[in-house]
Amino acid sequence: MAPSIDPRLTGKLPVHDLPTPESESPMRPRKPYRFSTLCATVENPDMKDQYGSSSVPIYQTSTFKGIGGEYDYSRSGNPTRSHLEHHIAKISSAAHAFTVSSGMAALDVILRLLKPGDEIIAGDDLYGGTNRLLTYIRTHVGVTIHHVDTTDPTTLHQYIHPTKTAMVLLESPTNPLLKIVDLATISKDVKERAPNAVIVVDNTMMSPYLQRPLEHGADIVYDSATKYLSGHHDLMAGAVTCNRDDLAQKIAFTINAVGNALTPIDSFLLLRGIKTLALRMDRQQTTAQMVAEYLYNLGFVVHYPGLASHPGAEVHSRIADGNGAVLSFETGNKELSEKIVGGTRLWGISVSFGCVNSLISMPCVMSHASIDPATRAARGLPEDLIRLCVGIEDPHDLLDDLERALIDAGAIALDASLNKYVRVPENDALTLAVQKLHLDGAKAVEEWFISAPGKVILFGEHAVVHGVTAIAASVDLRCYGLTSPRSDGKVSVHLHDMDNFYHEWDIDSLPWDAVTPAGDEHPEDLDHRLVDALNEGVLSGLSEEQKAIRGASLAFLYLYMILARTDRPTFNFTARATLPVGAGLGSSASYSVCAATASLLVHRRISLPPLPAPSSSDHVHISHHGRRALPPPTAEEVNRWAFMAEKILHGNPSGVDNSVAVYGGALAYTRPGFGKKSGMEGIQGFKSLKFLLTNSKVPRDTKKLVAGVGEKKTNEPDLVNGILQSIQSICDEARRALADPELPRDSLLTALSALMDENHGHLVTLGVSHPSLETIKAKTSTPYGLSTKLTGAGGGGCAVTLIPDDFEDEQLQDLINTLIRENFQPYLTSVGGSGLGILSPYAEHRNRGSQIRHAPTGLGQVTPPDTPTPREPFHPEIVDGSEKRVSNLDALRAPFVSSTMAELPEWAAGLGRWLYV
């Protein structure tokens, strides 16, 4: 709400009361006028106009006739200026006000209170002109200046000297970083430690309408009245206010002595501008809030106290009545900022602020250019910073003009899949590389979007190593891979979940001489010559701490190179997952499947079946719905190459994880070498089950755990062999139950619960559980009555809890909250769903408008993108057994990278039809 000033508080306003009518009756007293009324009402009872003019006259004269009158020379006093100064004092909670020729003239008058040997404590984020004048008096007057971070009141304490500290110079918000200074706390602290120090506040950014620092302990407040007080940029003026008579006397003497008092005509113009101050500021700061939220929603670093994320928001709300109309934001690149500033039309490129017209500038090359670059850097002033000074224009016009400048500069780009503009970050190598990724129409290349599930071992962990059949199933937490074409002779990988790792390689720099290209036959053995060449060459710069990144990059490059024929396509591969990495849920296998599928598609080693011509208008292509769209030969080829990638990552994998990731559902696996039928066999009729997977967040050493069971078997063969036989019985029983289509659902869930409890007990006896896993089991058992067992190697990692169909949602949420409070990470998912999926490349199968939901609510996009023309169905041309397509589909990379983990599955599903094995 706008501030109100009670003119009856004579201690606060001893001189400049604005009379209000007496109460009309004792029952209904008059209330004090509010600020906007005070602004518009220019009334000085001691200076009534002889003709009753409704507007203060301009006394455009240098001298006044007579002897002993109130005025004799306009340098010393002028009626128009007196009206103005009375009015400013009234709205500033001040006893005294003075107006001079500019804001810097006001500061100059104040600094003349100092003498050689005095010390000033000033902020480290000051207006450039202020910094320039402080540098001058330090050099020529012998005053010591301490620049400190005034956002933390305690940083001033070490610089406050009881006698030497003569002045503390503050701004809040600061210009241009909009830092917030606790004026009240600093004023109190300084007065306690240096009673004679003068607290000076530059209030230009707020104006008296939004902030009155004298009310918070300041001794002197000054404004560049050129800004908000005037509001029209048609005059230069400065205002100084204070309550102390001794300071007022010194200030008045200096102004009269140096002759920088404001002229009559400028006094009249300034008085006229102040009348609309509240009206203008209300409009300006409302629009500024919209602009700040718009930029924040795009992902820029925005400095504005009206944002909840601003570190000084709480302090600002305590000392100010509004957030002002100046904000700044960072783009991450100076050249980009220059393009944005130069690209605006409605926003005027200019220094200063506070005008009814909106302005845009780059402080480091304009208002703050007088501060040397080293000092700017030391004070954390970004060279790419853009300052916006919001005017009273229609906010939608301002936002439209700003958005167009952002688009033209390349700071934001249209994401057609979202039908909105998204930010294109500028400040790192990843971004610069992504800018190079664009469709090369001549080559008719497109994006391929792939996903593969993780896996969970339902029964038979550890026992599978000793010949027992294990049962594994897909889990609907997935890895996603996206290929984006490049046309710059490079191939790159972006591992979003591994420290956002990104690297690119010139194709010609890869060790092609070490490659034995794969022909039509799939090699069974890993090409160690190529592995060594990659490790010792292009991957040699990765450290030991980046072991996982090295493995993922190696697998990608190995597949890319060995699958290459005569052509060497250039593309970027981005991978991210909703699977927790390293928790025993097959995250590496799902990545291997995505990487293998991507390389096979890009190298045209596999292709999707073309759409057959419909036999009638009602014909439905069943092959492109559900889990049977990708033919078996495609699945088999992907699985073979994914297994090769798993060899790179794990040395001697069983093949279970990648098989589950390709085929989905559930399968039984028996390791060869134990005198019985071995291999993998799908469990037909498997019904999807709901599970809660809980990541203990405890790292595990799989090799150590497996070795421990082996040692226990050597030392206690009868015990361990008996456990292994029992686990084999459990797996056999579970396999029969899962494959029985006539077994009632309730009976199946009851049987699985009992088998899980039994299996877990045996694993505890084998010594592969962990206290964290036992805690999870206990939390899910009591009071919920659910069955939980460890999954994978144990010793940490994940536990899996079966959720019955009739388990109440409220109970489930309560359980999830309980596990989170215990610092575990639960994932509600289904088990036994689809395997490898490829987003259909056919336009008929794709949707528009799948939205990312994590951006804060706000005005959002203001310039609607052109309405897209409807897609015409098309059928690909088949060339040499592969379809030749011209891509007219939405670009996916920007939303794929920017969506949160929680939003990723819904966004991916909303893109259109997925083709599954």
Residues involved in catalysis: 75, 127, 202, 227
Instruction: Give the Cα separation of 895 and 487 in Å (integer).
Output: 21
DSSP E strands in 359-446: the ranges are: 359-361, 386-389, 412-415, 420-423
Q: For residue 597, give both structure tokens.
A: 């599928």
Burial of 27 per CB tally in 10 Å (0-12, 13-18, 19+): exposed
Q: Residue 73 has what DSSP assignment?
A: B
Instruction: Give the Cα separation of 669 and 586 in Å (integer).
Output: 15
Terminal alpha carbon distance of the chain: 62
| Three-state DSSP class for residue 59 | coil
| Three-state DSSP class for residue 158 | helix
Question: Virtual CA dihedral for 824, 825, 828, 829, nearest 10 degrees?
Answer: -120
Nearest one of 884, 882, 892, 894 to 912, comparing CA atoms: 892
Which helix (H) or strand (E) segment is 240 a member of? strand 238-242
Instruction: Give the Cα separation of 575 and 578 in Å (integer).
Output: 11
CA distances (Å), 898 to each of 390, 503, 871, 901, in order? 29, 18, 26, 9
Q: Residue 144 has what DSSP assignment?
A: E
Contacts of 619-624 with C-beta under 8 Å, sequence gap 24+, read: 624/840, 624/845, 624/913, 624/915
Burial of 241 per CB tally in 10 Å (0-12, 13-18, 19+): buried
Nearest one of 236, 266, 210 to 92, comparing CA atoms: 210
Instruction: Give the Cα separation of 561 and 510 in Å (integer).
Output: 8
Asked if the peptide bond before residue 176 counts as cis, ω within 30 degrees of 0, the response is yes
- Please state the three-class secondary structure of 479-518 as a single string: EEEEEEECCCCEEEEEECCCCCEEEEEEHHHCCHHHCCCC
Which amino acid is residue 794, in one-letter code? G
DSSP codes, 242-273: ES-HHHHHHHHHHHHHHT-BPPHHHHHHHHHH
Q: Are 784 and 766 in contact (CB under 8 A)?
A: no
What is the radius of gyration, based on Cα positions, of the chain? 37
Nearest one of 49, 12, 57, 56 to 32, comparing CA atoms: 12
The b-or-e profile of 341-360 (16+ CB within 10 A means b, else e) is: bebbebbbebebbbbbbbbb
Q: Are 262 and 82 in contact (CB under 8 A)?
A: no
Q: Which residues contact 486 (CB under 8 A, 6 or more apart)?
A: 436, 437, 438, 492, 570, 571, 572
Angle between helices 547-562 and 528-536 (to 10 degrees): 130
Which helix (H) or strand (E) segment is 295 a member of? helix 277-298
Instruction: Give the Cα separation of 904 and 179 in Å (integer).
Output: 35
Nearest one of 78, 85, 86 to 263, comparing CA atoms: 78
Which amino acid is residue 603, in one-letter code? H
Q: Are 278 and 209 in contact (CB under 8 A)?
A: yes
